[in-house]
Amino acid sequence: MGKVQAPSGTRDFLADDLRRRRTAIANVSEVFERYGFDPLETPAFERIEVIAGKYGEEASKLLFKILRRGAHESSGQPDLALRYDHTVPLARVIGTHGSKLPSPFKRYAIGPVWRADRPQEGRFREFTQCDVDTVGSTSPLADAEIVRAIADGLGALGVARFRFLVNSRQALRGLLEVYQVAEGRGDGVLATLDKLDKIGVQAVAKELVDERGLDVSTAEHLTEDVAADDPDLLRVKLSATERGQQGLAEIDSLLELAADLGGRVVFAPRMVRGLDYYTGAIWEVEAEGYPGAIAAGGRYDGLVASLGGPDAPACGGSIGIERILAMQDAWESEPHGLDVALTVLGGEADLMRLAGVLRSNGARVGMFLGASRKLGKQLQWANAQHARFTVLYGPEEQDAGEVTVRDMESGEQTRTPLGNAASHLRELIDR
Amino acid sequence: MGKVQAPSGTRDFLADDLRRRRTAIANVSEVFERYGFDPLETPAFERIEVIAGKYGEEASKLLFKILRRGAHESSGQPDLALRYDHTVPLARVIGTHGSKLPSPFKRYAIGPVWRADRPQEGRFREFTQCDVDTVGSTSPLADAEIVRAIADGLGALGVARFRFLVNSRQALRGLLEVYQVAEGRGDGVLATLDKLDKIGVQAVAKELVDERGLDVSTAEHLTEDVAADDPDLLRVKLSATERGQQGLAEIDSLLELAADLGGRVVFAPRMVRGLDYYTGAIWEVEAEGYPGAIAAGGRYDGLVASLGGPDAPACGGSIGIERILAMQDAWESEPHGLDVALTVLGGEADLMRLAGVLRSNGARVGMFLGASRKLGKQLQWANAQHARFTVLYGPEEQDAGEVTVRDMESGEQTRTPLGNAASHLRELIDR
């Protein structure tokens, strides 16, 4: 039978990778816990009616849908779908558990989601999302807590140099008011402005005319204003409308509540998030050495309701943890070796008992499980296991009631009574 | 919109439950690590050809199958299925990664599997399996390591009184030889004998005659021998055949290598595991206060190959962790409270900075995120958060550049300069 692979776009995590991922995730979780966020874990799949139609048509094609079972399997119809993100399940949980949840509900979720994207370098069909959200508070403190939790989370992931680019959906809407862009065109215009980094000033201005219905002069001036990325310019313009002032206040409140983060949080008028659902302060994180944004978020007061939950204000953020982990994969990883390797040349019951004592003291202990009785071969195995110490217990040692302990780095060997071997090894390990 | 639930047979894990589960799983993982087992995580789904046909017809109906996507969705055909256990993915991983893996390959896997069983009390469609296996060793030490790792794992899960009931597939086959049961009937006869606890001696003997083709006298004597659960009787009978002797040797080797576990591992002739794939020593764990077996395993040298992997000897075991966790759910759980709750009556930036310093020192800190400016309401919130200390920073404190720290248990209040608040609180927390 041929070599069968994991499904396209998925990965097997073997020990080294998995340990690194687990450590990273534990570190981020610990940060979120410090902020009083609680963990939440939802099922891998949801009823299809909870998920379908929530993400738009394009995304809908990327759902992994689960066939009905038993007599209904032949219908070819799905009734469940693997979760596509952690946000729709969050909205569902709030609907399901309602009053059992604290208010505001501060939760984090770190776990796999599934999207049938075309697999490519660095993009997977099963990947981990790392979300933190507060539902049920309109306080700017809630927004600031998210930003600070994400900043600390990035620090815990070893990302050293990063900046939060902050803007506000209200500020952007205010700017559109200054240019008398019709309310109904706002979302489309912002979606186009979001492409500045991708397609450049001229193409954006052209798209604003061709597809969003702005006149040429408005399109050009608006694009220039955003592209200039000049906070002072925007402050002047935005002060002209109430909405603009409101947006500035959102931005300034976030800047003030993060003032002690040492200039890591800045007003960036050019940062436009194209997603319709944002309603207040929005932000993205750029980091040295990483292309694109490695974290993003904002306030989305209408989203929970639109996803089937109750009408509740909310804000949140997400760390692109897969990209950060991929960077870490390039680091050399410390092999996770054995503290003690036991070679086996007879005396199995004695060795098993010794292993038991060592393990109950917390040591990582392996025994040679192969068929060979050649010491050389067994020492090779101990080496491959990155063992710090190896125990030899050949016929001569057995007769003497002793073991030989070999320091695998120095090659130094010492003899010690079998009954004393566990505490002797414990001392060596702790040294 | 109505209250939408999680899909039938699945659960949302809210904070308290989830923390308990995580702690339990971390404890078991730590035990397995001490034995030199490495963690392995495979995708949630496998290609359907990897899974289909591996579990027999009944189980096949319980697979969650994933519809093909895009243009193929309308075919109504699946191409993937959620994993049904961790064993088939293990066999696939060995086929996929082969020489990259250490030999023997000792791995543990703790994670969800999915089965579309009829949901009922204590049975779920998404549940966690906790497996530990060694592939590539025929050594009895490998079997003994599994048994001891499972024993320590149960201890780490708080299961205090348990016993390993040990038998051997070879011993059972040897007993069938003593009764001259035809080789081809062996698996079926053992599957029937496995029902002793469920349907009793007479029904088993009857089924052996009616369905397995034994004559009445053989059926009755064989059933009695097994039901008697008398090691001495079996030792005498088994010594008559080579296979029986081999089986006894497997059992005795396991007993010897676990002799220091204080009588927790015993030969139990009545313990027959009906599954065809076992080839050597087999065992089940019974525990006081738990119905049925809470762990089981054995040697299954042909299984990896039959599941699509290479021809490799293997042994392993599995803890029924969901049942143990369900028992723990009944325990009162310690609320995971805040170390410090910050009430908010103005001075937001000062408070946010204070929270930042406390959190960077590892404290769990929450801020009041509601709209109310009433202290009474905010103290209620702090109480609901199980806060140990609450910080008050009203207009008077702000003018004085001080904070009031309230010990929520004693009600005692102290004033301290704002600049000193973080270290003062740290001292109080550590006290």
Distances (CA, A) of B96 to B85, B92, B134, B155, B309: 18, 6, 17, 34, 8
- Same domain, residue pair A345 and A325: no
Q: A–B: how many Cβ contacts below 8 A?
A: 276
The verdict on residue B299 lying in a domain is yes
The verdict on residue A256 lying in a domain is yes
The three-state DSSP-derived secondary structure of B78-106 is: EEEEECCCCHHHHHHHHHHHHHHCCCCEE
Mean pLDDT computed over A155-165: 95
Residue A151 in this model has a pLDDT that exceeds 70: yes
Distances (CA, A) of B174 to A327, A341, B183, B186, B250: 57, 36, 10, 10, 12
**Residue contact A349–B47, C-beta within 8 A:** no
**Rounded Cα distance, A287 and A294, in Å:** 7
pLDDT of residue A180: 94
Q: Final residue of a domain: which of B329, B364, B383?
A: B329
Please enumerate in sequence order all residues whose Cβ is within 8 A of that of B341, keeping only pairs 6 or more positions apart, or say none.
B365, B366, B367, B368, B381, B382, B385, B387, B389, B390, B391, B408
**A301-305, A365-369, B371-375: least confident range:** A301-305
**Residue contact B35–A93, C-beta within 8 A:** no
- At A393-426, the pLDDT tens digits run 999 999 999 999 999 999 999 999 999 999 999 9
Nearest to A338 among B10, B14, B36 (CB): B36
- At A93-136, the pLDDT tens digits run 999 998 889 989 999 999 999 999 988 887 899 999 999 999 99
- Same domain, residue pair A315 and A353: no
Taking the CA atoms of residue A273, residue A275, residue A278 and residue A284 in that order, the dihedral angle to the nearest 10 degrees is: -30
Gap from B384 CA to chain A (nearest CA, Å): 9
DSSP B110-164: EEEEE--PPPBTTB-SEEEEEEEEEES---HHHHHHHHHHHHHHHHHTT--SEEE
CATH number of the domain residue A76 falls in: 3.30.930.10
Q: What residues does A392 pair with on adjacent strands?
A: A404
Mean pLDDT computed over A275-290: 91
pLDDT of residue B292: 87
- Domain hosting residue A243, numbered range: 15-329
**Rounded Cα distance, A108 and A38, in Å:** 6
The verdict on residue A5 lying in a domain is no
The verdict on residue A215 lying in a domain is yes
CATH number of the domain residue B381 falls in: 3.40.50.800
Name residue B175's amino acid.
L
**Rounded Cα distance, B363 and B359, in Å:** 5
User: Do A279 and A260 meet the contact criterion of CB atoms below 8 Å apart?
Assistant: no
- Same domain, residue pair B377 and B280: no
**Rounded Cα distance, B364 and B335, in Å:** 13
**Tokens 């040294």 appear where?**
A431
**Residue contact B64–A45, C-beta within 8 A:** yes
Chain A residues closer than 8 Å to B67 by CB: 64-67, 76, 78
Its ipTM equals 0.92
Residue A352 in this model has a pLDDT that exceeds 90: yes
Q: Phi and psi dihedrals of B132, rounded to 5?
A: -140, 130
Best interface-test mutation with A: which of B41, B127, B132, B340 has the largest number of A CBs within 10 A? B41
Mean pLDDT computed over A15-22: 93
**Rounded Cα distance, A269 and A256, in Å:** 17
Name the domain count of chain A: 2
The verdict on residue A7 lying in a domain is no
Q: Final residue of a domain: which of A307, A329, A351?
A: A329
**Tokens 């958060």 appear where?**
B385
pLDDT of residue B377: 95
pLDDT of residue A1: 43
Q: What is the mean pLDDT of chain A?
A: 93
The verdict on residue B118 lying in a domain is yes
Query: Which segments in chain B show pLDDT lower than 50?
Result: 1
- Same domain, residue pair B273 and B186: yes
Token pair in block for residue A55: 């993400």
Task: Kindly give the pairing relationship between strand A162-168 and strand A265-267.
Answer: parallel
Nearest to B424 by CA among B409, B408, B406: B406
Nearest to B371 among A77, A138, A370 (CB): A138
Gap from B243 CA to chain A (nearest CA, Å): 21
**Residue contact B45–A353, C-beta within 8 A:** no
- Same domain, residue pair A378 and A307: no
- Same domain, residue pair A59 and A178: yes
pLDDT of residue B303: 86
The better pLDDT of the pair A292, A421 is held by: A421
B402-407, strands of its sheet edge to edge: B365-367, B340-342, B389-392, B402-407, B413-417
Token pair in block for residue B41: 């995580």
The verdict on residue B334 lying in a domain is no
Which helix (H) or strand (E) element contains residue B287?
Answer: strand B281-287
User: Do B367 and B342 meet the contact criterion of CB atoms below 8 Å apart?
Assistant: yes
- At A74-84, the pLDDT tens digits run 999 999 999 99
The verdict on residue A210 lying in a domain is yes
pLDDT of residue A328: 76
- Same domain, residue pair B413 and B388: yes
- Same domain, residue pair A376 and A305: no
Instruction: Kindly state the percentage of chain A with pLDDT values over 90.
Output: 85
pLDDT of residue B329: 67
Q: Final residue of a domain: which of B329, B350, B373?
A: B329
- Same domain, residue pair B395 and B325: no
pLDDT of residue A330: 64
- Same domain, residue pair A140 and A53: yes
- Same domain, residue pair A164 and A20: yes
pLDDT of residue B58: 78
In degrees, rounded to 5, the angle at the alpha carbon of residue A199 between the alpha carbons of residues A196 and A205 is 65
- Same domain, residue pair B307 and B368: no
Token pair in block for residue A205: 């201005």
